[in-house]
Amino acid sequence: MKKAIGVLGTMSGAGKTTLSLLLIRYMKKFLHLDVVPFKGQNMSLNAKVTPEGYEMSSAQYYQALAAEVIPSPIYNPILLKPGAPTESYMIINGKPAGSIDSKNWVSKDREKLWEIIKANLDTLIKTHDYIVIEGAGSPAEINLKKYDITNMRPIMYTDADGILVADIDRGGSFAQIVGTMELLSPDERNHIKVFVLNKFRGDESLLKEGIDYLYRRYSIPTVVLPYIHHNLPEEDALKRNIPHNQDDITVAVIQTPHMANHDDFDPLIGNVNLIFTTNIRDIEHADVVILPGSRKVVEDLRFVRSMGIDKAIREAWESGAYIIGICGGFQMLTESIVDEEGIEDKPGAYKGLELIPGSTIFRQDKILRLSKGYVMKNIPVIGGIAVLGYEIHHGITETNSPFLRLNGKPDGYYKGHIIGTYLHGLFANNAFSEAFLNMIRNEKGHKDKPFIYTHPIEELDRILEDVKPRIEDIWEHLNM
């Protein structure tokens, strides 16, 4: 390894993931460097399946694509999926590894996890020239710093040059940068080489006094990144403020407490009126209602009933809406969920929403695979259209009216405006989405529209062209 670069943030959501993507893509596309991403531990409900059948965070998956390397859990050895308030489901080196509670997470198990992170880093150090290490949250949390295995510890271990990012759009950036620097030790501060004020809108001359202050105090330069409107996947947050068009169909995604893989719906942004909601009126008046994937299917099923959403879904269906269940949402739509081994809840059988005939059986073995196939040919309008995506699930559901044929086997359910599937990434298939959505538009009296979805790496390249001079400035300030 020639050098490691650390991308740290003053807080969650500062822009570490996007900046890491931009920096990796710049290094690969314009400097032609051998670069790979790394995030030792990521807490997120958005995951992807690698070509080898391992699970990893979506963020590092796309960072690997930006680096033009095959996505692998070596770039994200520990993935935590929040479940109960004090418990997370662990994926270690791409495979399920049980649960961990918050007390063990900040105590005895941290050193074991660090050894896993260090082993992966050691491999990357030996096999690649550059590593871009993304941190998590803030590197200077007083109550967590001594347990840190994701921020300063890998930075110090690899002798990385650090970038400290603050989100100026939310305000308080200068105070956050100073506060973070003062809470770092002198040795840790020495690794910070450049500050980044991210998501700035307006006249940059207004920042001069603050930038000058930071340089006088720390002798560290600052680079300003403008606010960028983009459709890159979010690491673990729903996109907000999605514009609506009155003359189009509305797709309502039920925002359950343990909703997973919400990036399934990124391709719909700008193509339909997309809302994430638990509002009964929204659901009853939607043209399409989607129950998304879930980390805790039975618990989310209880939530749906407690909020009266089950009745609203049925009301929407009876009024002509399409009801779609993806993965955990598909399981909820069946007649029952049988969890004899207590994989997701107490052992037992649970009544489903009974819109899809058949039962879901939870099994200990987790299915992780890339899948491709086509819509069943007997289905009007969309039959025979090719689709591909991935599967992450414990349950098995057999129905008498499958929706897809994936990897040579039937998947899901399709009948009378009710659809279920285990396939994540369904709407990223442009031909399917255009035909399916226009079929619904025709039923609802709307005109056809082209379906426009740009692959995240194409979107990344577009953004990079706009901000390339700023990324070059950051690169110049690093000790390369």
Query: Around 201, how many Cα atoms within 13 Å sit in the side-chain half-sphere?
Result: 6
Give the confidence band of 365 by pLDDT, cuts at 50, 70, 90. confident
- Token output for 201: 């809108």
Interval 434-447 mean pLDDT = 96
| Number of other CB atoms surrounding residue 2 within 10 Å | 11
Rounded to whole angstroms, the Cα distance separating 261 from 327 reads: 10
- Token output for 184: 């770092």
Helix boundaries (H) for 162-266: 173-183, 186-189, 208-218
Would you state the pLDDT for residue 240? 54
Would you state the pLDDT for residue 35? 98
16-29 vs 58-66: helix crossing angle, rounded to 10:
20
For the entire predicted model, the pTM comes to 0.90
480 vs 52, which has greater pLDDT?
52
- Mean pLDDT computed over every residue of the chain: 93
Q: Does residue 181 contact residue 139 with C-beta atoms inside 8 Å? A: no
Rounded to whole angstroms, the Cα distance separating 433 from 428 reads: 7
Would you state the pLDDT for residue 106? 60
Would you state the pLDDT for residue 94? 95
Please state which architecture CATH assigns to domain 3-231+458-477: 3-Layer(aba) Sandwich (3.40)
Active site residue 262: no
Look at the chain and count its residues.
480
Would you state the pLDDT for residue 100? 79
Would you state the pLDDT for residue 251? 97
The helix or strand, by DSSP H or E, that contains position 468, with its residue range, turns out to be helix 456-477
102 vs 339, which has greater pLDDT?
339
Interval 354-363 mean pLDDT = 94
Q: Does residue 166 contact residue 135 with C-beta atoms inside 8 Å? A: no
- Token output for 167: 């989100």
Active site residue 327: yes
Would you state the pLDDT for residue 243? 62
Give the confidence band of 73 by pLDDT, cuts at 50, 70, 90. very high
Residue 77 reports pLDDT greater than 90: yes
Kindly report, as residue ranges, where domains of CATH 3.40.50.880 are found in the chain: 250-453
Would you state the pLDDT for residue 87? 79
The catalytically annotated residue of 128, 191, 327, 477 is 327
State the fold for domain 250-453: Rossmann fold (3.40.50)
Would you state the pLDDT for residue 237? 58
Residue 277's Cα: distance from chain center in Å? 18
Kindly report, as residue ranges, where domains of CATH 3.40.50.300 are found in the chain: 3-231+458-477
The catalytically annotated residue of 191, 258, 424, 477 is 424
Q: What is the DSSP string of 298-310?
A: HHHHHHHHHTTHH
Q: What is the pLDDT of residues 222-274, one digit of tens each?
A: 999 999 887 787 766 565 546 677 789 999 999 999 999 999 999 999 999 99
